[in-house]
Structure 1
Amino acid sequence: MTTHTDHSLDSFGDSAASATRVTPGNALRPEDIAIAKEKPTEDVAQYALRLGDDALILAQRLSHWISRAPELEEDIALGNIALDVLGHARSFLSYAGHAWDKTEDDLAYWREEDEFRSLWIVEQPNGDFGFTIARQLVVSVYQYLLYTELLASTDGTIAAIAAKALKEVDYHRDHAVQWALRLGDGTEESHRRMQDALELVWPYVDEMFDDDALIDAVGDAGVRPSSLRAAFDAQIASVLDEATLSVPNVPRASGGGRRGEHTEHLGYILAEMQVLARKHPGATW
């Protein structure tokens, strides 16, 4: 996808609304997606699954900061960001599951590790606060650019989910930028630790921009990741320059999350996330 057309939830028109029952009032609730008349194609479902998995695993990581952040305000901020991202995951997974008659819970709790399609960067341990901010800076800039382009998706539901998510990711990006500036241009110790964090995060950046056969198949319903790289590099370089930090020059990690090949960390996340649902199948509360 090489062009972008500005959309909002109010401007999708009858085609998107009839496909997904989206109105400004219901704001793309997963239950509305689940009862939509039109199902996504297999390729679009697989694409939505990727985006949902990225958001779901990142939400799990961010939620671990609750009660552990360096100040109370950050407990609240990171918790709210985690909830936002979990909401994005619910919408994308509900839409993906609609193609296979599965619910968001089916996809979250009843898939095995090699069935997840999340990027390696979102499954990395939180590390110290600097690492989490470095990861969040990279991911939120990437997601902001991605969702901006997805506003022009030829799939109305993907476009609508992106429109809602974009408003929240804009805040996530600003939050990460402000902390990167504060830590990078702060004390000698905070500068060193923030630069070290970037060095640890950077091997996982390239995977976000890999194209593959699914990207070719999904066409204008999705976004070619490689098309986002130049804008990403420019935004990151600008932030790091102001923060007196430098863009790392380190080898990339091989990556393989889109193929279901993950680091050892994902298994631990899933064990914690899935244990209750698997121990008490069908339980509600």
Structure 2
Amino acid sequence: MNRDEVLRRVAALVDGTGATPTDAEVVTGGEICDAYRVTLDDGHTLFAKTRADSQDDFFVAEAEGLRRLHATGTVPVPRVLAADPGLLALEWIEGGSPTPEKAERLGRDLAALHATPAPHYGTAGPLYLGPVPLTTPTPAPTEPADWPAFHAEHRLLPLLRLAVDNGGISPGDTADVELLCDRIAEVAGPPQPPAHIHGDLWAGNIIWTERPHLIDPAAQGGHPEADLAFLEVSKCPHFDRLIAAYEEVRPLPGRADRAPLHLLHHVLIHAALFGGHYGPESGEVARAALVGGGAP
């Protein structure tokens, strides 16, 4: 979708409000969508993102994820203005620079989010990690003991199959990921009831306002350590202060040893979409998960 089409779509969105879009400026930072800062003639600013070949429910899923996070009352997110096939419009949030104090606030907010029970693992509606749809079985699993099998069968193995089909991972690394999936219950750590998680929380999905906002979720019932593992590996600014504040509220003994397990699905999706070094990294992370989790 080009700039003129974005302006036309946003004009239809705000029709009847007395405002007219006057400019759409490209915003960088995403991997799979085009993003724009749209200025209205009444002085307001919107954020619009588009994806030409997206499924009809692609942005609907993201909008629902933002609403789901907002409903927990724990983390700030942009307000959803519209979600249509091909376009998502949100309020514009003006960010600033990360600081240790903001990171500590985010750590406490994430601890509160992760302490909020979800009704089950996964979602009742559509869910995407990047452009890849994720599944939730029916009935959705609800018990802490269900998480390892759910994660292997509905998160790791589908992404592994996609990486294999796209030539993004070698047979040897594939075998190591499969071994981890076979033994995941041995390395999963303490039972974890389904909790609300962001689901795709890399450092680029934080807007560093005074109380940091979260964007671009794959929000679902899941394991909180997934959010923390991805934040850490993506070099979230002041992560040491963030995790210290988090663990003051919600201690996680042994978290560092389990981090490779919770990172793997993010590495696998990159292997599936981009190949390159992500295939060998997937095998390396799977092997680290087995060792860190204490598997013999």
Asked if TM exceeds 0.5, the reply is no
Higher normalized strand content (fraction of residues): 2
Higher normalized helix content (fraction of residues): 1
TM-score of the pair, normalised by structure 2:
0.29
Relative contact order higher in (CA < 8 Å, ≥ 6 apart): 1
Structure with larger Rg = 2
